[in-house]
Amino acid sequence: MEYVIIDTSSIVFGFSFNKDVFEIARQEFPKCEIVISDGVIGELRKIAENSGVKGSHAKTALLSIKSKNVKVHNNRGNVDSWIHKAAASYKNPVIITNDTALFKSLKQKGIIVFKLGKSGFLKN
């Protein structure tokens, strides 16, 4: 089984432009399982506490995670650290993140990494 790991930054970014990164990942990588960490859930819950646009996007993302059957791995630590560890332990994982520092560090390690564009296309 191959995996697509999605970071909080791409989830919130996508929903802010009415793009569902989970659906986009399923279309682009239909044979892969979509994975996030429970740290991502925690970050989304924290963002959802805010009243405003980002808070509402985070709430929508949390509902989407439940309805899209996204696999959630247990992780109580830093999300970026978990992504690095997961990327090292999975065979040929795909990472989707809009966090520039994380994107660069993963790319330097030769990991397949994409950013979600405003149009809903993945770019690397």
121 vs 110: CA distance, rounded Å: 21
Q: What percent of the chain has pLDDT over 70?
A: 98
Question: How many Cα atoms sit within 13 Å of 75 on the Cβ side?
Answer: 22
Region at 19 (left for phi over 0; alpha for psi -120 to 50; beta for the rest): beta
pLDDT band for position 1 (cuts 50, 70, 90): low
- Strand pairing report for 112-116 and 94-96: parallel
Q: Which CATH class is domain 2-123?
A: alpha beta
Q: Name the average pLDDT for the chain.
A: 93
Whether 41 contacts 65, CB under 8 Å: yes
Quote the CA–CA distance of 92 and 42 in Å, as a whole number. 26
